[in-house]
Structure 1
Amino acid sequence: MTSIATGGSGLDIPGLVSQLVQASRLPTESRINSQASSVSAKLSAVGQIKSSLTSLQTALEKLGTAADKPGYLAKVQDGAGFTAATTSSAMSGSYAVEVLSVATAQKLSSAGHAAGAVIGTGTLSIAWGSEDDQRLTIEFEDGATLADIARAVNRAAGGKGVGATVITADDGEHLVFTARDTGTANALSITTTGGDGGLLALTNGAGGGLLEQVAASDARVRVDGFERTSSTNTVGDLVPGVNLTLSAAKPGESFRLDVSSDHAALESALEAFVSAYNSVGSVLKSTSSYNSTTKTASALTGDSLVRGLQQQLRNLASGSSLPLKALGVTLDKSGVMSFDKTKLGEAMASDPQGVSRLFGGEGSLAASLKTVLKTQLDSSEGAIALRTENLNKERSRLEDQMKQLDLRMEKLGSIYLSQFTAMETMIVQLQSGASSLNGLLAQNSKS
């Protein structure tokens, strides 16, 4: 606001104008600020509700997965020579398992050679398995030692099929070839052609010099009289939904394998669901409560969004109270859920599909609750999104009102300033005229 010097009136015109403008501004500004605070509080409350509903939605999805695919636990008798791991297709049952043999990888060793001795020249061919790419051929010229040959084999194999290393013993250096994979199908065939014949010492064919330290063998396991041979020590499908990993042969000895339901994942998912459900109830209550002592309302007291949600959740839980109770989930009079783990175990033992019927992908309560959550949380048509959009529009409207108020008050201040300036000018003129008149009267009296 433009500042002017005070004149004959002695009034602080800028200060007076500011006070008058502020007095005119205050009622409207207070109303806008009050409404803006209310809108901000409602936006915050709606955001809390959205967050709690999203957490409930996530918990429901995880519970559905756990309900549709209950876990299983495999328990193996001590000293069995194998371990067991369940998959999603496991079923409860008991099995007699006998490990007849374990799969081993072939290991071949050369005779001892003097350190750094040149072995010979020619072509060394190594094959394993039955595929065309399970073969390598290496040319050696003059000067190839065991170390040179080992490096060449490892470089050519690239970590597949065969590995070579030099072992130094009392009788000299030995070149050891080890099959990378277990089983008779992956046994090594090492031959040589051309050259001076020195590479024959590194072959395992007729006249070859390699000795078999470990023979290639397949794993054999018998389950309830059914036998399976495998090139690896992992055997699947012989026990439904269970992978057996063999570690030691125990021929003639049968060991017990028990597969039973494992409720740990389901229990954890159900606990998380109950916690998320109670969190929604707590948020709805805190954002809509009314303190009768202080006569203070919350941001969403009496709001239809909250009332509707509370009623929907209460109806869903109450309508499923009997099957929920059978799983150890109960609802008190205030709408708070609780969970008894022991009852879940009993329910799973008597009715393994009970949880799936309620919370699974096609479960009755899950389907109804998903519908409610989708109605609330849909990003374009959901009640939360629409309410948030309307509140943001209201906030923008209030911001526009505040801008318009600023413009009106600036204009009003200019009007007041013009009026007081005109008044001040008039007073100065009157004072000047009076001074001139007094001067004339004084001169006349002297004469």
Structure 2
Amino acid sequence: MSTVSSLSSAAINSNISAVTKRLEAPITSLGTQVAADKALISAWGSISGAISSLSDSLVHIQNISTINARAATSNNTLVATATANATAATGTYNLTSISLAKGQELYSGLLGSSNATLSGGAGQLAFTLASGKSETISLGSGSMTLNDIAAAVNKQHGGVQASVLSTSAGARLVFNSSATGASAAFSVSGTGALAQFAYSSASPGSEIKAQSAVNASLSLNGIPITSASNSLGSAIAGVTISLAGSGNASVSVSSSPTALSGSVLDVANSLNTALSAISTETKYVGTASSTAASSGSAKSGVLLGNFSAANLKNQLMNAVSSLESSGLSAAAIGLTLTSAGTVSFSSTAFSSAFSKNPSAVQTLVSKLYTSLDNLTTGAIGAAASSATGASSITGFISAQTSSLNDAINSIQQQITLISKQASATITELQKQYTAAETSASSASVTQAYLSIFLGNNSSSSG
């Protein structure tokens, strides 16, 4: 049996290490549990993110009435084009005898170069619009070139714009009304060097009117219409017509599945992302497969065997496979489940079903929204709504994640306590070894002195 005095420093350190390892064994086990719980939280986080994206995509089919299910086409896009929103009534609208709205254009007689200073001194230039609005600019004699005048007019951002047209024979100052329509007509008055640009219909002076300001005019299904602009936003409810040229055109407004089809496709894509995320975290990889493959993808999912995850996947798939309303199924509008457990979508099938019965298709899409919205809300929850008065909802994923975090916090507290106890035990053990070594050393010295003393006395008596 070894005593402290017979142990070397290396042996003592080895003993302390062995005790330390034994005391810290529970910490290692608890750390493994923390790592496993964190892996579960990460897996639920991946699924939660995919479900959140699915929830976001559902917003676009939440209110079918706001989705534009109308399309407007023109038989003569050189004359008129059109767009329609969801409120537009279907039908055909004939536009005849179209004459475009125009703005007024004036140009001066030929002058010197665009940078030549005009004679006549400082002055003002005033524009009076037919709408009654007036605009005035003032220029000093040192800023009296055609370029200076045009820049000063344009700086106003008012009802008149100016430009300079330069030719080999000289330059002209051009005034254009900023808008179209009869109310955009204007007259000009000036003083000083600017007096030469004065114009009115009664007294045009040296200015030449290249174009008069006029309203657009046309007949819509035989009804005369005028407009200050070439964009007609109120002539037909829900339809905006853009006039592009003179002549005749026919605009047709019809039901269109394009916007709704695109929204359903987005939902299908987001649903596949969610299904893929769940499959990744719940997949099973056999021992042979995981041994043969070196990549991390060969490992089974950390949620393998988790009922909540597997059930969520099944319910998401069932929301599509069991979808039915008004004699239509999911397959009838192009939504089908593949053998790989994904959702495919055919816009062609959707368009075909929509053309036959738009309202039935819209009803079916609304039912799809309700089913998926209930599932996503149950999984990730929902915030309280002041608009509807609905209370906040905690999803089961959040509940499980919260429970796991609580478990981790509890384990970490245990680890901290065990670490403190182990540290105190090791410290006390080291003190005991040190005290024992000191005691053993003192005993050895005493024994040596006694040996010397006894040896000397024996010699004297002899």
Under a length normalisation based on structure 1, what TM-score does the superposition of the two structures give?
A: 0.81
1:390–1:170 Cα change, 3 Å: closer
Q: Quote the residue 2:242 is aligned against.
A: 245
Deviations 1:81-128 (A, max 9, x none): 222233343444333333521111111234445775546998765321
Stretch of structure 1 that moved more, 410-419 or 48-57? 410-419
State which of 311, 335, 338 in structure 2 corresponds to 1:329.
335
| Equivalent-residue separation in structure 2 for 1:122 and 1:445 (angstroms) | 140
The 1:387/1:188 distance shift into structure 2, 3 A limit, reads same
- Report what 1:28 is aligned to: 26
SS in 1 for 2:62: helix
Further displaced range: 76-85 or 102-111: 76-85
Partner-residue secondary structure (3-state), 1:12: helix
Superposition map of 1:119-198 within 5 A:
125-131=126-132, 134-136=133-135, 147=146, 150=149, 154=153, 158-167=156-165, 174-190=172-188
Against the structure 1 CA distance between its residues 349 and 411, is the aligned structure 2 distance closer, same or farther, given a 3 Å change threshold? same
Structure 1 residues 278 and 188, CA gap change in structure 2 (3 angstroms):
same
Aligned mate of 2:200, from 195, 198, 204: 204
CA 247–365 in structure 1, closer or farther in 2 if over 3 Å, else same = closer
Deviation at residue 196 of structure 1 after TM alignment: 9.6
Specify the code of the residue in structure 2 equivalent to 1:188: F
Does 2:302 correspond to 1:299? Answer: yes
- CA distance in 1: counterparts of 2:450 and 2:124, whole angstroms: 136
Q: Judge conservation of contact 2:103–2:185 (CA < 8 Å) in 1.
A: yes
When structure 1 is superposed on structure 2, of 430-439 and 350-359 the one drifting more is: 430-439
Residue deviations 1:5-39, cap 9 Å, x none?
Answer: x9653342551343232332243023201211111
Could you say what secondary structure the match of 2:232 adopts? strand
Counterpart residue number, 1:47: 45
- Per the TM alignment, residue 324 of structure 1 is displaced from its structure 2 partner at its CA by 1.4
- Taking the aligned partners of 1:298 and 1:207, their CA distance within structure 2 comes to 88
* CA displacement, residues 265-293 of structure 1 (integer Å, 9 cap, x when unaligned): 43332222112212222222332334454
Aligned pair 1:310/2:323, yes or no? Answer: no
State how far apart, in whole Å, the 1-side matches of 2:29 and 2:310 are. 27
Indicate the residue corresponding to 1:289 in structure 2.
283
Structure 1 Cα separation of the partners of residues 141 and 28 of structure 2: 100
Q: 2: distance between equivalents of 1:334 and 1:197?
A: 83
Matched, 1:390 2:435: no
What amino acid is the match of 1:365? L
- Cα distance between partner residues in 2 of 1:41 and 1:255: 65
1:234-273 alignment, distance < 5 Å:
234-250=231-247, 254-273=248-267
Indicate the larger mover: 397-406 or 317-326.
317-326
The one-letter code of the counterpart of 1:102 is L
Per the alignment, residue 296 of structure 2 pairs with none
User: What is the percent sequence identity of the aligned residues?
Assistant: 23
SS at match of 2:358: coil
The equivalent residue for 2:362 is 356
SS in 2 for 1:353: helix
Is 2:213 the counterpart of 1:216?
Answer: yes
The alpha-carbon distance between structure 1 residues 109 and 432, as it changes in their structure 2 partners (threshold 3 A), is: closer
The answer (yes or no) to whether the contact 2:20–2:426 under 8 Å persists in 1 is no
The 2-side partners of 1:429 and 1:139 are apart by 111
AA at the equivalent of 1:384: I
Partner Cα separation in structure 2 for residue 409 and residue 201 of structure 1: 99
Answer with 182-191 or 44-53: which moved more.
182-191
- Amino acid in structure 2 at the alignment position of 1:287: E
Whichever residue aligns with residue 353 of structure 2, its letter is A
Cα offset for 1:41?
Answer: 0.7
Show the counterpart of 2:387: none
CA distance in structure 2 between the aligned counterparts of 1:205 and 1:117, rounded to whole angstroms: 25
- Give 1:376's aligned residue: 379
Larger CA deviation: 144-153 vs 228-237: 144-153
Compute the RMSD of aligned alpha carbons.
Answer: 3.7
State how far apart, in whole Å, the 2-side matches of 1:147 and 1:290 are.
Answer: 81
SS at match of 1:136: strand
Does structure 2 retain, via aligned residues, the 8 Å contact 1:153–1:163?
no
Change beyond 3 A, Cα 1:69–1:419: same
Shift of 1:304: 4.1
Alignment pair present for 1:367 and 2:370? yes
Give, in whole Å, the separation in 2 of the partners of 1:142 and 1:268. Answer: 63
Matches within 5 A, 1:73-112: 73-78=71-76, 80-112=78-110
Report how far residue 318 of structure 1 moved.
3.6
* Residues 208 and 80 of structure 1: CA distance in aligned 2, closer, same or farther (over 3 Å): closer
Which secondary structure does the structure 1 equivalent of 2:94 belong to? strand
Rounded to whole Å, the distance in 2 between the matches of 1:309 and 1:15 is 55
User: Which digits, 9 at most, give the CA deviation of each residue in 1:205-248, with x for residues without a partner?
Assistant: 43441332112222122333233211111122334433222222
Counterpart amino acid of residue 202 in structure 2: A
- Distance in 1 (CA, whole Å) between partners of 2:305 and 2:141 is 96
- Aligned counterparts of 1:116 and 1:289: Cα–Cα separation in 2: 84
**What per-residue deviation string (whole Å, max 9, x for no partner) do you get for residues 402-431 of structure 1?**
111211111111232233334334433443
CA distance in 1 between counterparts of 2:284 and 2:147 reads: 87
Secondary structure in 2 matching 1:244: strand
8 Å contact 1:109–1:212 — kept in the other structure?
A: yes
Matches of 1:306 and 1:388 in 2, distance apart?
13
Asked if 1 retains the 8 angstrom alpha-carbon contact of 2:129 and 2:184, the reply is yes
Whether 1:404 aligns to 2:417 is yes
Structure 1 stretch 336-345 or stretch 116-125: which is displaced more?
A: 116-125
Per-residue deviation at 1:167?
A: 4.5
- Out of 424, 430, 440, the position equivalent to 1:417 is 430
Give, in whole Å, the separation in 1 of the partners of 2:398 and 2:342: 27
Q: 1:339 to 1:435 in 2, by over 3 A?
A: same
Matched, 1:233 2:230: yes
Provide the rounded CA distance (Å) in 2 between the counterparts of 1:330 and 1:369.
15
What is the Cα deviation at residue 355 of structure 1?
3.9
Matched with 2:346 is 340
Say if 1:143 and 1:45 are closer, same or farther in 2 by CA, change over 3 A: closer
How big is the shift at 1:142? 9.1
Counterpart CA distance in 1 for 2:192 and 2:307 is 96
Q: Is the 8 A contact 2:124 2:194 kept in 1?
A: no
CA distance in 2, matches of 1:353, 1:17: 82
**Which one has more relative contact order, counting CA pairs under 8 Å at least 6 apart?**
1
